[in-house]
Structure 1
Amino acid sequence: MAVQLLSHDISDLCLGKPPLRPLPSTSTVAASLSIFRRCSGEPSLSVWSSDPSSPEQPSKCIGKVTIVDVLCFLCREDNISNPSIALNSPVSLLLPSNANANAPPLVKQLDPTSSILDAVDCILEGAQSLIVPRKSRNGGTPRQKPFTGRQFCWITQEDVIRFFFNSINHFSPTPFNSLQSLNIIEEKFSSVNYNDPALSALTAISNSYSGQTSVAVVDDEGRLIGEISLHTLACCDETLAPAVATLSAGDLMAYIDYGGPQEELAQLVKARLEERKLDGMLELLEDNHSSSSVSSCLSSSPSSSSDDEVAAKGMRSRANSTRFVRGTEPIVSHPGSSLVAVMIQALSHRLNHVWVVEEDYRLVGIVTFAGMLKVLRDRVSSFS
């Protein structure tokens, strides 16, 4: 089985993948938003060191940006008072700082002949996404020249997990062992209290972005109430920023719930913006059909698997919370759940993680794709 896995190149995972959309680092934040609006369902844009369409100089992918990056940027303390200036800032400011020169890059470029295990090793070293040249129709790789926007595609953690899942029986008995026995439950995760400011949740998402997980919303007893996820935020647009800047974590979940903000919460956001004299955020709220921006993104997205909404799970009565949030219910498992069962949960809901809770929904930890890949990678190593 190990021989079969080693025989696959990373380019095998590129089949059917759309070409990534490039953006020079000198482009503005507003320019990235324009592309997100035009290209419905586009999860991320690749950022390049120079104009990727220019033949005069080579260009290198230096990172990627998503709507979540834009929201985090607009809600920074120095941008809340004047979001229009922030929107005209270069998109390179959305990328993580290189304060730690020894830190692994979040985006890693691989040769198309690299093995699947090379890809796994890059992910386990901290790579968030892999960028791989697409093969030409004759089977070879495109001639190396400045990027034209049609030569590369993203390979995600989910892509690699799906590859392994197709051969899951070969890893037996490991996939059928419990999360607890595999020691795969991560006890370090991001969480906020239901009544905490939503800004703290977004900051937590920004700080833990490399893990591609969500921020758990818990009650005073540590029971899981909901989550603020990358998946949900990616379905919104920049007009969500005023809500993030003014609401609590619990109210933000309700604001996004039901496909759009409830009138009561929309008025609350407006009143708080006026009270704090955040005129720029108020203009952002009232601009670009703000009352329907969340709704249109959540309800009109294609029904393809890449845009599936997170399905609700049976989160029973818990925490005696003041508000029951239907659309933001997280996907959960238990310490005794098997690895393969949790893989199915995560893959079916297009999530990079599954929360682990006790019977009373007290939050125990989180299981991520990276953790799953480590277990499977160790299993492959044991075959050799």
Structure 2
Amino acid sequence: MAVRILNGDVSELCLGKPELTCVSASSTISDALTALRTSGDSQLSVWMCCAGDIAINNGSCVCVGKFCMADVILFLCREENLADPFKALESPVSDILPNGSPIVRHLQQNSSLLDAIDSILEGTQNLVIPIQNHYTTNSRKSFPNRPPPPSTCTHHKDHKYCWLTQEDVVRFLLNSLGAFSPIPTFTIDSLNITDHDIMTVTYNEPASSALPYFHRALIEQTSIAVVDEQNRLIGEISPFALSCSNETAAGAITALSAVDLMIYIECARPPEDLVQLVKTRLRERNLVGMVEMIDEFLHALAFSSSSSCSSDDESGSSWLRGGSGRNYSARRSEAIVCGPRSSLVAVMIQALAHRVSCVWVVDEGYSVVGAVTFAGILKVFGNVAGGRHNKSEDNSLKK
């Protein structure tokens, strides 16, 4: 049964998935931000075409990455962009795409779930899957040079696309755990899926000292643990938290300590004392452009709040903040933890319930000893498939 599930078509996971909202790799970051906020999504797909990113229905376009607020924040943290953030936002989207192996990959509808897992274990974050669309109109087949308003993506033969994330695959497997019994009941310690190569930053260290970690966390879909001097877990800074924030977080990373950054990105409206501290320290470094961006953003936020009724305040703030308009119950800086003897199924449920891609493993003293990621969880299922395939082959040979 487990092998049958893993060999099933990946299209089964696409049922009910929304069509991708796309942005051209040649669009400006500023325009892409507008499209992101208008879409209500947490991320957009980035496409590149052979003929100048003009038409996507000629089959010559490919999804080359994804665009989210965290990408923008880390891009603005570059020294040259801190000095003139407004100019930086006029750069093309392609400038913020990561170098190295692509984090998105195209798969066909009839690719297997095991193919999807293998792709994720090779570093893919999002799998781009074609979905048949019978109601596409000519007006929606053009790929916009300038994203707003956001557009869905159509290739040849009226195909639109959705994408699958690591979370989608883990959630699908959670609903099929009976086929993998008794492995889901095994402890994460016995399954050896705890990643000990974790990223930590002491709470009073400058947040900017962890910038390499932020970039790595975004690529690996994990988080940075904020700890005290005894390595006890205080909280975390995750790509998700940054994606729920806004451009001004670049100034906060530059000016604040790790724990103050946690507070800054946690609040819908950052505390006034932290805002003033950020602006003061930015002025000390002559980063006046970033100060102006913060002032402009907070002015827009205040205007939005004052012109909205109370029931609309949250939606208005979320539009101004990050790309996602969705509500999440967990605090963005709250670290989700488990112990070495937690079962695989318990950790899966924790991660999915709190919408986190990283569950911290702590000892009895609450010191961080490692983390379990979606990739680590999926590796277990990939290994199970390999083992069962081998066993079937051995049995057939014996017969």
Alignment CA distance shift 1:126-1:258 (3 Å): closer
Select the residue among 340, 343, 346 that pairs with 2:348.
343
Alignment-derived partner of residue 132 in structure 2:
135
Q: Counterparts of 1:67-78 in structure 2 under 5 Å?
A: 67-78=69-80
Contact 2:318–2:325, Cα closer than 8 Å, also in 1: no
* Distance of 1:153 and 1:329 partners within structure 2: 30
Q: CA separation of 1:299/1:382 partners in 2, compared to 1, >3 Å: closer, same or farther?
A: farther
Matches within 5 A, 1:42-53: 42-50=41-49, 51=53, 53=55
Q: Is the 8 A contact 1:58 1:146 kept in 2?
A: no
Residue 52 of structure 1 deviates from its aligned partner by: 5.6
Q: Answer with 107-116 or 146-155: which moved more.
A: 146-155
- Deviation, structure 1 residue 215: 0.9
1:309 to 2:328 alignment: yes
Paired position in structure 1 for 2:27 = 27
Match of 2:88 in 1: 86
The amino acid of 1:370's aligned partner reads A
Report the TM-score, using the length of structure 1 for normalisation: 0.86
Identify the match of residue 193 of structure 2 among 159, 184, 187: 184
* Closer/same/farther in 2, CA of residues 382 and 57 from structure 1, 3 Å limit: closer
Matched residue SS, 1:79: helix
- Which residue of the other structure, out of 106, 109, 114, is the alignment partner of 1:109? 106
The change in CA–CA distance for 1:229 and 1:3 in structure 2 (over 3 A counts) is closer
Q: Could you tell me which of 60, 63, 77 is aligned with 2:62?
A: 60
The structure 1 residue matched to 2:239, chosen from 219, 230, 235, is 230
Give secondary structure in 1 for the equivalent of 2:120.
Answer: helix
Alpha-carbon distance in 2 for matches of 1:297, 1:367: 33
Q: Which is further off, 340-349 or 161-170?
A: 161-170
Is 2:7–2:114's contact at 8 Å kept on the other side of the alignment? no
Per-residue CA deviation, residues 146-170 of structure 1 (Å, 9 max, x unaligned), is 8761411111011111111111122
Is this contact kept in 2: 1:190–1:205, CA < 8 A?
no
Query: Among 375, 378, 381, which residue is 2:383 paired with?
Result: 378
The answer to whether the Cα contact below 8 Å between 1:332 and 1:356 also exists between their aligned partners in 2 is: yes
SS of the residue corresponding to residue 191 of structure 1 reads strand
Radius of gyration: which is bigger? 2
How many angstroms apart in 1 are the aligned matches of 2:234 and 2:85?
31
For the residues of structure 2 that align with 1:70 and 1:372, how far apart are their CA atoms? 29
Can you give the 5+ residue segments of structure 2 that lack an aligned partner in the other structure?
136-140, 144-151, 155-159, 306-312, 390-399
Q: Which moved more, 1:254-263 or 1:286-295?
A: 286-295
Partner of 2:223: 214
**What amino acid sits opposite 1:373 in the alignment?**
L
3-state SS, counterpart of residue 30 of structure 1 = helix
Q: Which moved more, 1:217-226 or 1:237-246?
A: 237-246
**Uncovered stretches (5+) of structure 1, i.e. residues with no partner:** 99-103, 139-144, 313-326
SS at 2:128 equivalent: strand
Alpha-carbon offset, residue 55 of structure 1: 5.3
Residue in structure 2 matched with residue 97 of structure 1 by the alignment: 99
Q: Secondary structure at the match of 2:132?
A: coil
Shift of 1:231: 1.6
Quick one: distance in 1 between partners of 2:171 and 2:325? 13
Aligned partners of 2:2 and 2:179 also within 8 Å: no
- Tell whether the 8 Å contact from 2:217 to 2:239 is kept in structure 1 after alignment: no
Corresponding residue for 2:370?
A: 365
1 CA distance for matches of 2:181 and 2:316?
A: 39
Higher helix share: 2
SS at match of 1:155: strand
Deviations 1:220-251 (A, max 9, x none): 11111111112221111212222122111111
Aligned to 2:293: 284
- Tell me if the contact between 1:24 and 1:49 (Cα under 8 Å) persists in the aligned partners: yes
From 240, 243, 252, the equivalent of 2:252 is: 243
Q: Do the aligned partners of residues 6 and 368 (structure 1) sit closer, same or farther apart at CA in structure 2, a change above 3 Å counting?
A: closer
State the Cα RMSD in Å.
2.5
Mean CA deviation greater in 51-60 or 83-92? 51-60
SS in 1 for 2:372: strand
Identity of aligned residues (%): 47
Give 1:257 shift.
3.0
For the pair 1:354 / 2:368, whether they are aligned, the reply is: no
How many pairs align? 355
CA contact (8 A) 2:68 2:243 kept: yes
User: CA separation in 1, counterparts of 2:191 and 2:316?
Assistant: 36
Residue in structure 2 matched with residue 256 of structure 1 by the alignment:
265
Once the two structures are TM-superposed, the CA of residue 187 in structure 1 deviates from its matched residue by 0.3
Give the counterpart of 1:149 among 136, 149, 153: 153
> Which structure is higher in RCO with an 8 Å CA cutoff and minimum separation 6?
2
What is the one-letter code of the residue matched to 1:124?
L
Distance 1:311 1:4, change over 3 A: same
Match of 1:120 in 2: 117
Whole-angstrom CA distance in 2 between matches of 1:345 and 1:298: 30
Aligned residue for 1:317?
none
Contact 1:11/1:135 (8 A) holds in 2? no
C-alpha contact (below 8 Å) 2:46/2:67 kept by paired residues: yes
CA distance in 1, matches of 2:222, 2:22: 24
Larger mean CA deviation between 178-187 and 286-295 belongs to 286-295
Deviation at 1:217, TM superposition (A): 0.7
